[in-house]
């Protein structure tokens, strides 16, 4: 049995990076078997061994458990430490079951002991005894009183948070005595409470610091080994109490399954092993899909360089391409959404399939929308994207639908906005204007996309530069047909977060110009938004949603005498100056 366990430890790389192992020993049969086997293997495998016993303060007989383990360690020359915790008090304080609180406190004590041992050893000496290292003497016995911290949201045993040293160096491992029947019970427990494939893996042989050398051994083999060696063990009377879920599974459910097939526990454990392999494959495929459908930090940096300055030095929201996401198989699709929500929320605890399904429904619905999904995370659908806004302290909070007051004359980009492929003017200082006489030569009318000419005499006054207001419209043809500016922005696919923040030139309720969105990655401006119509002398507005629109009511004609030129200069937001001074009521004609 010892050789089989040693092979299992080598196969699962339990000791190749570790020269130090702390055994969690309660005094029961499982942990005493673990301790005896590690005691035998420590010379052969070349690791140091210590024992930690946690006294949960729940049973009168627990004092005898502590003394028994301490006596064994003293006789075997194994450094021993006992930690006393108040599991009942911790459970009441944190609204947990006593069983859950005890498990959390136990793992916290083990983690702290492992971290202390790491600190005692230099990185170079983790695989052997170091002279003058301050290691615990072989006969040392310690007791600590530990009040414990409230359990974190991810439970007691988590690879990424609970059991991995901050440095990433894995010197000291924590050996626990879970065996084959424990594995089967864990799989059944997870299945019953609604876990999916990840939960069906059961317990991993290695999970961060935690190692489980006995995971392939049955309870019968463990007890037989102890009897052969003449080693007694302690019994925990609470293990008979079927009010605890795991005891119910052990005492009543597993025996029924073994009546169907005597090898039920082995078969369930084997299925867990295959589930772990499948999960690893799917994790790899999910990672590939995540990379394909989400925008990278490089994308966001490029947008910041070309105009979205307000995202610099801030964490961006997570943006996912809906078309790419929906091309994935349903299983991978769900996993990608799950991981993105968890990343934005900063946790996975209580994240359920219903949250994932809600986001996928949003992705597939017509039109745009926004929803609160989980853990303070908001998700917005903006055309072909899902934008995930995280919680305070993680990703930044979303902007309001308008971002600023609709009555603001010169709204500035103070409230962070998510990065988009295109950008629009968000401040009056990005415009410059002038008024000058026109000689009637329509061939001279500006063809530049971001420089527009208007009939100044028709307007009758210098325009204001502001965000949209209720009742604003834009005239779309010479017959006088108009469209509300809200509807125009929707039709032009301007992201909802920006519609109320874009600054536009207006004459009363008439919007003179909605500029085309500038490609955030482009340094050069694109083709003209309109060209003179040689047949009737009226500038024709290009109808494309990417070209912007000017009001047909104020377009230049052969009868125009004075021109109002408005120019949008996107680069002014990157290098802000006094551009806004150029949009005051100036008249090059001197009138």
Residue for token pair 């609970």: 162
SS3 140: coil
Say which CATH number the domain at 358 has.
Answer: 3.30.465.60
Whole-angstrom distance, CA of residue 514 vs CA of residue 501: 12
Residue 400 lies in a domain: no
Judge if 361 and 447 occupy the same domain.
no
**Torsion (CA) 350, 282, 111, 239 in degrees, nearest 10:** 70
Residue for token pair 């008439």: 510
Judge if 336 and 451 occupy the same domain.
no
Start-to-end CA span in the chain (Å): 103
Give the structural domain span for 159: 2-181+203-237
CA-wise closest residue to 491 among 538, 549, 419: 549
Exposed / middle / buried, residue 541 (Cβ in 10 Å: 0-12, 13-18, 19+): buried
Judge if 434 and 493 occupy the same domain.
yes
Per-residue confidence (pLDDT) for residue 46, from 0 to 100: 87
Judge if 331 and 450 occupy the same domain.
no
* Residues recorded for the chain: 591
For residues 50 and 135, is the Cβ–Cβ distance under 8 A? no
Per-residue confidence (pLDDT) for residue 323, from 0 to 100: 94
DSSP state of 225: H
For 484, other C-beta atoms within 10 Å of its C-beta total 15
Per-residue confidence (pLDDT) for residue 501, from 0 to 100: 87
Residue ending a domain, choose from 389, 413, 447: 389
Judge if 140 and 15 occupy the same domain.
yes
DSSP state of 253: I
Judge if 506 and 366 occupy the same domain.
no
Whole-angstrom distance, CA of residue 432 vs CA of residue 452: 11
pTM, full prediction: 0.60
Say which CATH number the domain at 78 has.
Answer: 3.40.50.620
DSSP state of 251: I
Sign of CA dihedral 124, 126, 129, 131: positive
Judge if 289 and 436 occupy the same domain.
no
Chain center to CA of 21: 33
Judge if 444 and 334 occupy the same domain.
no
Judge if 466 and 513 occupy the same domain.
yes
pLDDT values of the chain reduced to their tens digit, one per residue, 591 residues: 999 999 999 999 898 655 899 999 999 999 999 999 999 999 888 899 999 999 999 888 999 999 999 999 999 999 999 999 999 999 999 888 888 899 999 999 999 999 998 888 755 544 443 333 334 544 456 666 665 554 443 333 444 344 444 444 557 999 999 999 999 999 999 998 877 888 899 999 999 999 999 999 999 999 999 999 999 999 888 888 888 788 899 889 999 999 999 999 999 999 999 999 999 999 999 999 999 998 765 444 444 433 343 333 345 689 999 999 999 999 999 999 999 999 998 888 888 889 999 999 999 998 888 888 888 899 999 888 999 988 654 433 333 333 323 333 333 333 344 445 567 888 888 899 899 999 988 888 887 888 999 999 999 888 999 999 999 999 988 888 999 998 888 888 888 778 888 999 999 999 999 988 776 544 433 333 333 333 333 333 333 334 578 899 999 998 999 999 999 887 655 444 444 445 555 554 444
Residue for token pair 């006789």: 75
Pairing of strands 562-568, 451-455: antiparallel
Residue 257 lies in a domain: no
Judge if 349 and 469 occupy the same domain.
no
SS3 566: strand
For 324-344, give one letter per residue: b (16+ CB within 10 A) or e. ebeebeeebbbbbbbbbbbbb
For residues 36 and 226, is the Cβ–Cβ distance under 8 A? yes
Residue 313 lies in a domain: yes
Residue 162 lies in a domain: yes
Residue 526 lies in a domain: yes
Whole-angstrom distance, CA of residue 39 vs CA of residue 210: 18
Residue 244 lies in a domain: no
Residue for token pair 């494939």: 197
Exposed / middle / buried, residue 173 (Cβ in 10 Å: 0-12, 13-18, 19+): buried
What's the token pair of residue 447? 């063809």
Whole-angstrom distance, CA of residue 535 vs CA of residue 476: 19
For residues 420 and 498, is the Cβ–Cβ distance under 8 A? yes
Number of domains observed in the structure of the chain: 3
Residue 191 lies in a domain: no
Side-chain half-sphere exposure of 538, counting CA atoms within 13 A: 13
Residue 197 lies in a domain: no
Per-residue confidence (pLDDT) for residue 583, from 0 to 100: 59
Judge if 467 and 360 occupy the same domain.
no
DSSP state of 417: -
Judge if 445 and 314 occupy the same domain.
no
């Amino acid at each position: 049995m010892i050789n089989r366990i040693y092979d299992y430890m080598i196969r699962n790389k339990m000791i190749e990076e570790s020269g130090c192992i702390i055994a969690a020993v309660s005094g029961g049969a499982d942990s005493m078997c673990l301790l005896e086997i590690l005691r035998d293997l420590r010379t052969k495998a070349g690791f140091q061994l210590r024992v930690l016993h946690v006294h949960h303060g729940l049973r009168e007989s627990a004092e005898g458990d502590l003394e028994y383990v301490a006596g064994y360690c003293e006789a075997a020359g194994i450094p021993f430490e006992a930690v006393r915790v108040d599991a009942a008090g911790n459970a009441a304080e944190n609204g947990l079951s006593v069983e859950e609180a005890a498990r959390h406190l136990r793992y916290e004590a083990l983690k702290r002991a492992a971290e202390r041992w790491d600190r005692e050893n230099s990185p170079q000496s983790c695989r052997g005894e170091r002279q003058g290292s301050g290691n615990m003497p072989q006969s040392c016995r310690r007791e600590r009183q530990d009040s414990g911290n409230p359990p974190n949201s991810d439970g007691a045993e988590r690879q990424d948070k609970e059991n991995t040293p901050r440095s990433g160096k894995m010197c000291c491992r924590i050996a626990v005595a879970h065996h084959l029947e424990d594995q089967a019970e864990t799989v059944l427990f997870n299945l019953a409470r609604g876990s999916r494939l990840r939960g069906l893996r059961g317990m991993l042989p290695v999970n961060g610091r935690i190692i489980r050398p006995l995971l392939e051994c049955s309870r019968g083999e463990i007890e037989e080994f102890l009897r052969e060696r003449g080693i007694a063990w302690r019994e925990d009377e609470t293990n008979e109490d079927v009010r605890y879920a795991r005891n119910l599974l052990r005492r009543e459910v597993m025996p029924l399954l073994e009546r169907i097939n005597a090898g039920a526990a082995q078969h369930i454990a084997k299925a867990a092993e295959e589930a772990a392999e499948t999960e690893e494959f799917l994790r790899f495929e999910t990672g590939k899909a995540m990379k394909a459908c989400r925008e990278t930090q490089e994308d966001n940096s490029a947008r910041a360089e070309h105009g979205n300055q307000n995202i610099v030095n801030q964490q961006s929201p997570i943006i996912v391409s809906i078309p790419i996401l929906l091309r994935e198989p349903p299983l991978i699709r769900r996993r990608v959404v799950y991981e993105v929500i968890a990343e934005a929320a900063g946790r996975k605890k209580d994240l359920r399939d219903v949250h994932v399904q809600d986001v996928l429904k949003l992705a597939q619905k017509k039109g745009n929308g926004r929803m609160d999904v989980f853990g303070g995370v908001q998700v917005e659908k903006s055309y072909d994207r899902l934008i995930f806004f995280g919680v305070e302290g993680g990703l930044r909070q979303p902007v309001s639908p308008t971002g600023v007051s609709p009555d603001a004359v010169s709204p500035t980009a103070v409230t962070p906005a998510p990065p988009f492929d295109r950008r629009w003017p968000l401040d009056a200082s990005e415009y410059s204007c002038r008024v000058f006489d026109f000689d009637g030569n329509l061939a001279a009318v500006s063809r530049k996309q971001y420089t527009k000419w208007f009939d100044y005499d028709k307007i009758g006054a210098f325009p204001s530069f502001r965000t949209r207001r209720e009742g604003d419209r834009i005239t779309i043809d010479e017959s006088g047909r108009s469209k509300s500016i809200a509807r125009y922005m929707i039709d032009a696919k301007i992201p909802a977060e920006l519609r109320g923040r874009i600054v536009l030139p207006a004459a009363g309720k008439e919007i003179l110009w909605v500029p085309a969105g500038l490609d955030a990655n482009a340094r050069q401006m694109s083709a003209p938004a309109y060209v003179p119509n040689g047949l009737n002398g009226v500038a024709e507005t290009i109808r494309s949603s990417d070209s912007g629109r000017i009001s047909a009511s104020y377009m230049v004609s052969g009868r125009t005498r004075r021109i109002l030129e408005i120019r949008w200069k996107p680069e002014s937001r990157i290098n802000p100056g006094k551009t806004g001074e150029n949009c005051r009521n100036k008249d090059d004609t001197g009138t």
